[in-house]
Amino acid sequence: MSEAAQAQTMGFQTEAKQLLHLMIHSMYSNPDIFLRELISNASDAADKLRFEALEHPELYEDDPDLVVRIDIDSDANTITISDNGIGMSRDEAIANLGTIARSGTAEFLGSLSGDQKSDSQLIGQFGVGFYSGFLVADKIVVETRRANAPTSEGVSWSCDGEAEFTVDAIDRKERGTSVILHLKDDAKDYANDWRLRSLVKKYSDHIAVPVEMLETLPPKSADEKGEEDKEEAEIVPQYERVNSATALWTRPRKDIKDEEYQEFYKHVSHDFQDAMSWSHNRVEGKLDYTSLVYIPAHAPHDLYNRDVARGLKLYIQRTFIMDDAEQFLPLYLRFIKGVVDCSDLPLNVSREILQSSPAVDSIRAALVKRVLDMLDTLAKEKPDEYKTIWETFGSVLKEGPGEDFANRERIAGLLRFATTRSDDAMVSLADYIATMKPDQDKIYYLVGDNESASRNSAYLEIFRKKGIEVLIMFDRIDEWTMSHLQEFDGKSLQDISRGELDLGKLADEEKDEDSSDKPEDSDAVVGKIKEVLGDRVADVRTTNRLTESPACLVLGQDEMGSQMRKIMEAAGQAMPESKPVLEVNAEHVLIQRLRDESDSDKTADLVGLLYDQAALSAGEQLDNPALFVKRLNRLLFEA
List the beta strands (DSSP E) in 123-276: 137-145, 154-159, 165-170, 176-183, 211-214, 239-241
Q: Are residues 73 and 134 in the same domain?
A: yes
Task: Give tens-digit pLDDT for 29-72.
Answer: 788 888 988 998 898 888 889 888 888 999 999 899 999 999 99
Question: Taking the model in full, what pTM does it have?
Answer: 0.72
At 7 the pLDDT is 64
pLDDT category of residue 96 using cuts at 50, 70 and 90:
confident
- Residues facing 581 on adjacent strands: 539, 554
Higher per-residue confidence, 156 vs 19: 156
- For the purposes of burial, counting CB atoms within 10 Å of the CB of 312, is it exposed (0-12), middle (13-18) or buried (19 or more)? buried
Query: CA-CA distance, 163 to 21, in Å (whole number)?
Result: 10
CA–CA separation, 351 and 344 (whole Å): 11
Residue 355 sits in a domain whose CATH number is: 3.30.230.80
Those residues whose C-beta lies under 8 Å from the C-beta of residue 548, and which sit 6 or more positions away, are 458, 461
**pLDDT tens, residue by residue, 457-511:** 999 999 999 999 999 998 888 988 998 998 999 999 999 988 888 887 777 644 5
User: Is 136 a member of any domain?
Assistant: yes
In a domain, 225, yes or no: no
- How long, in residues, is the chain? 639
Predicted confidence (pLDDT) per residue in 426-447, tens digit: 999 999 999 998 888 899 999 9
Residues 523 and 598 in one domain: yes
Whether the per-residue pLDDT at 452 is higher than 50: the answer is yes
For residues 50 and 112, membership in a common domain is answered with yes
The closest alpha carbon to 200, from 187, 186, 190, 185, belongs to: 190
Rounded-to-integer distance, Cα 115 and Cα 129, Å:
26
Instruction: Tell me: do 212 and 262 sit in the same domain.
Output: no
In a domain, 258, yes or no: yes
Q: How far apart, in whole angstroms, are the C-alpha atoms of residue 393 and residue 390?
A: 5
Q: Which residues of 362-387 are buried (b: 16+ CB within 10 A; e: fewer)?
A: ebbebbbebbbebbeebbeeeeeebe
196 and 267 share one domain: no
What does the alpha-carbon distance between residue 359 and residue 292 come to, in Å, rounded to a whole number?
18
Q: What is the pLDDT of residue 397?
A: 95
Please indicate, yes or no, whether residues 597 and 535 belong to a single structural domain of this protein: yes
Do 212 and 252 sit in the same domain of this protein?
no
Does a structural domain hold residue 409?
no
Q: Structural domain tally of the chain?
A: 3
Q: Which of 391, 410, 432 is the last residue of a domain?
A: 391
| Contact (Cβ atoms closer than 8 angstroms) between residue 586 and residue 551 | no
Q: Is the per-residue pLDDT at 346 higher than 70?
A: no
Can you tell me whether residue 639 is helix, strand or coil? coil
Q: Which domain holds residue 335?
A: 248-391
Is the C-alpha dihedral spanning 392, 393, 396, 402 positive or negative? negative
Does 402 score more than 60 pLDDT?
yes
Q: Give yes or no: residues 284 and 367 share one domain.
A: yes
Alpha-carbon torsion, ordered 253, 258, 260, 262, to 10 deg: 120
Q: What is the pLDDT of residues 162-197, one digit of tens each?
A: 768 899 999 999 999 999 999 999 999 999 999 999
- Indicate whether 213 and 360 sit together in one domain: no
Range with lowest mean pLDDT among 1-15, 63-77, 358-372, 619-633: 1-15
The answer, yes or no, to whether residue 12 has pLDDT greater than 50, is no
What kind and span of H or E run contains 341? strand 337-342
φ/ψ region of 161 (left if φ > 0, alpha if ψ in -120 to 50, else beta) reads: left
Residue 200 shares a structural domain with residue 82: yes
Same-domain check for residues 49 and 186: yes
Is residue 223 in some structural domain? no
Checking if the pLDDT of 274 tops 70, the result is yes
Stretch 279-295: mean pLDDT? 91
The per-residue pLDDT for range 207-228, each reduced to its tens digit, is 889 999 998 766 555 565 556 5
Higher pLDDT, 95 or 517: 95
Q: Does the pLDDT of residue 80 top 90, yes or no?
A: yes
Distance in angstroms (rounded) separating the CA atoms of residues 342 and 269? 20
Q: What pairing do the DSSP bridges indicate for beta strands 289-295 and 337-342?
A: antiparallel
Question: Is 58 among the domain residues?
Answer: yes
Name residue 164's beta-bridge partners: none
- Residue 435: half-sphere exposure toward Cβ, Cα within 13 Å: 15
| pLDDT for res 89 | 93
Contacts of 472 (CB under 8 A, 6+ apart): 417, 418, 419, 420, 445, 446, 448, 451, 454, 455
Angstrom distance (rounded) from CA 488 to CA 51: 56
Asked if 317 contacts 119 with a C-beta cutoff of 8 angstroms, the reply is no
Residue 101, phi-psi category: left (phi > 0), alpha (psi -120 to 50), beta (remainder): left
Task: Centre a 10 Å sphere on the Cβ of residue 526 and count the other Cβ atoms it contains.
Answer: 20
Query: What single DSSP character describes residue 157?
Result: E
Rounded CA-CA distance 161/182 in Å is 11
- CA 589 – CA 16 distance, rounded (Å): 92
Strand 154-159 to strand 491-495: parallel, antiparallel, or no bridges (unpaired)? unpaired
Is 260 in the same domain as 352? yes
Task: Report yes or no on 310 lying in a domain.
Answer: yes
The residue from 391, 411, 437 where one domain ends is: 391
Q: What is the pLDDT of residues 606-635, one digit of tens each?
A: 999 899 998 888 888 888 889 888 888 888
Residues 100, 104, 107, 108, Cα dihedral to 10° = -170
Residue 445 falls inside a structural domain: no
Give me the percent of the chain exceeding a pLDDT of 90: 39
Look at residue 342 in the predicted model and tell me its pLDDT.
87
Of 20, 76, 68, whose CA–CA distance to 43 is shortest?
68
Please give the residue that has the higher pLDDT: either 592 or 3: 592
Residues forming beta bridges with residue 443, ordered by sequence position = 493
CATH of the domain at 182: 3.30.565.10
| Strand partners of residue 79 | 72, 181
